[in-house]
Amino acid sequence: MTPYLNNYLNGEWQATSTPVHTLSDPVTSETLAVTGGAAAGLPEAFAFARHEGARALQAMTYAHRAAMLAEAVKVMQAKRDVYYAIALANSGTTKNDSAVDIEGALFTLGYYAKLGSALGEARTLAEGAAGSLSKDQMFQSQHLMVPIRGVALFINAFNFPAWGLWEKAAAALLSGVPVIVKPATVTAWLTHRMVADVIEAGIVPAGALSIVCGSSAGLLDALTPFDVLSFTGSAETAAKLRNHPAIARDSVRTNIEADSLNVTVLGEDAMPGTPAFDLYVDNLVRDMTIKSGQRCTAPRRALVPKAVMHAVAEAAAGKLAAIRVGNPRHADTGMGSLVSREQFDSACAGLALLKAEASVLFDGTAQPLLDADDQSACMGPSLLGVRDADAAVEVHRHEVFGPVCSLIGYKDAAHAIDIAHRGWGSLVASIYSADAHWMAHAAEALATSHGRVHVVSPDVAKTHTGHGNVMPGSIHGGPGRAGGGEELGGLRALAFYHRRSAIQAPVNVLELLGQRSTELKF
Ligand code: NAP
């Protein structure tokens, strides 16, 4: 029987209703699961989480909640095979690409379990030292961070059904804040299964973890001022959410991760035949094809000195041609499918838009698919070439969410930085060179418009963590077009789920507060 993805609210599974949405295999079109439509009773369910979930979570210490996260990791580690099977069928990803999502989720949750255990038995976080407000030092001010009194609503994108939940929930639950997740419908099955496994294991208190599948209707209406909203998805949906009264009027704290025109830059010193050049090409091809380019961090613009454009194109095309695209069940498939036929159409439309101002350096869209037909959502990679970066417009503002990247020639370092900034804010920029001064200068300049700058020299060829990989100890988010949000970054992530208050008080009161608190150190 086709699984029905029931909502879990008020600490119980909700009744099955008429199926409204269907989740399909993007390669075979087989129906995999169904969801209902708009959820009933959301205001009551949010109130239940806010009161029951928060009360139970906040009765625990950080160390206690960290242990709860560690338990959740154990529970899910034991179910890995199920998760990989769901990802293969529903996301159309190869095992390696599914691992980015599934292992990334477990790693991030485990990372926060470890960080949290070091916070010990505290219940609040002290930020910095107290500062005196009086000549006799008796009256002082201490910035104290206390868990918020609301729920954390996560509205997530389709591309990371596992990591997208846990990279946010790790920090929220560690902070003592109940989570309500609304996964993107098209891939909601994996999120649903993981939530169900954690609930069934009985390791989170009632109201601490809830899920709504199939419809976002009414979710924002159920928010009250002390709640927080974390959204990952398109800039278009983000703009709608920003205008909702809960955010526009009631100032619900909101974090947004949206589109991103990430860049990867080849240094001026890295001529063909140098290790830095080879590293650049290897990583460019890998990063533009992992998860079929459906990573928010995938490089969309590859900036190289004009003089070596042809050499980069030739080397990258050779590697792209070697990647077989098709059914991820086939042993020779190196790159699986896009997530749905809708995404395929959207990526094709975006590719056509970019082609109007770029030439095609490598066209993988015409190559035969492995064990998949032209009704599948499989799409071969495309490398485009832009000679006149300054005249181009769409390449700097249209994100094709698929295996598509534009190679862009730059004149000098200043020009490269200028082109990078034209993305109006991105998640990540990477730099490949053997010249430390060039890299340091570029890193500083790129940091103004990128949440993360990933610098690679041949010395770290084997140890660097990858342009596209989001490491939980480093922040994830970007200014401007990327949404202006910030997640992860170790304990920095906890700030979103805490309220900072300046406690101005006699020193003996601050001493008492200090006994329940631990210093927040990054
Ligand atoms: P999307 O269409 O904006 O959907 C994102 C989420 O919002 C889904 O859960 C969707 O639910 C929900 N949603 C849609 N309309 C809504 C509304 N009016 N009110 C409340 N929720 C609503 O984005 P997507 O297609 O899933 O994701 C692709 C985009 O995400 C890409 O543009 C990519 O750049 C971006 N992305 C960014 C990051 C990042 O970290 N910066 C990460 C991943 C993806 P339904 O599925 O039920 O419609």
pLDDT number for residue 459: 97
pLDDT band at residue 83 under the 50/70/90 scheme: very high
- The stretch 498-513 carries a mean pLDDT of 98
User: pLDDT tens for residues 6-28?
Assistant: 999 999 999 999 999 999 999 99
pLDDT number for residue 392: 96
CB 17 within 8 A of CB 36: yes
pLDDT number for residue 495: 97
Sign of CA dihedral 60, 61, 64, 65: positive
Residue nearest to atom 38 of ligand 1 (CA): 296
Considering only CA atoms, which of 507, 495, 514 is closest in space to residue 141?
507
Residue nearest to atom 21 of ligand 1 (CA): 216
In angstroms, what is the span from residue 261 Cα to ligand 1's centroid? Answer: 16
298 lines ligand 1 (CB under 6 A): no
User: pLDDT tens for residues 464-494?
Assistant: 999 999 999 999 999 999 999 999 999 999 9
Atom of ligand 1 nearest to the CA of 237: 3
List, in order, residues 6 or more apart from 490 with CB less than 8 Å away.
Answer: 115, 472, 473, 522
216 lines ligand 1 (CB under 6 A): yes
182 lines ligand 1 (CB under 6 A): yes
Extended beta strands in 119-234, E state: 124-132, 139-147, 152-155, 179-182, 209-211, 228-232
Cα 141 from Cα 504, distance rounded (Å): 4
pLDDT band at residue 84 under the 50/70/90 scheme: very high
In Å, what is the CA distance from 404 to each residue of 141, 320, 346? 53, 11, 12
**Residue 386 pLDDT > 90:** yes
pLDDT band at residue 1 under the 50/70/90 scheme: confident
In angstroms, what is the span from residue 405 Cα to ligand 1's centroid? Answer: 21
In Å, what is the CA distance from 410 to each residue of 68, 328, 436? 50, 37, 19
In Å, what is the CA distance from 501 to each residue of 125, 133, 142, 293, 518? 11, 16, 8, 42, 15
Burial of 331 (0-12, 13-18, 19+ CB in 10 A): exposed
pLDDT-above-70 percentage for the chain: 100
pLDDT band at residue 143 under the 50/70/90 scheme: very high
pLDDT band at residue 384 under the 50/70/90 scheme: very high
Stated length of the chain: 522
pLDDT number for residue 387: 81
User: pLDDT tens for residues 311-355?
Assistant: 999 999 999 999 999 999 999 999 999 999 999 999 999 999 999
156 lines ligand 1 (CB under 6 A): yes
pLDDT number for residue 470: 97
The angle that helices 80-91 and 188-200 make with each other, rounded to 10 degrees, is 160
User: pLDDT tens for residues 40-55?
Assistant: 999 999 999 999 999 9
Residue nearest to atom 8 of ligand 1 (CA): 184
Cα 452 from Cα 432, distance rounded (Å): 15
User: pLDDT tens for residues 388-423?
Assistant: 999 999 999 999 999 999 999 999 999 999 999 999
Cα 70 from Cα 79, distance rounded (Å): 15
- The stretch 96-102 carries a mean pLDDT of 98
Average pLDDT of the chain is: 97
**Residue 121 pLDDT > 90:** yes
pLDDT number for residue 7: 97
User: pLDDT tens for residues 245-265?
Assistant: 999 999 999 999 998 999 999
pLDDT number for residue 360: 97
Cα 115 from Cα 125, distance rounded (Å): 14
Catalytic one among 213, 296, 378, 405?
296
Residue nearest to atom 30 of ligand 1 (CA): 233
User: pLDDT tens for residues 207-218?
Assistant: 999 999 999 999
> What pTM value is reported for the model?
0.96
CB 323 within 8 A of CB 437: no
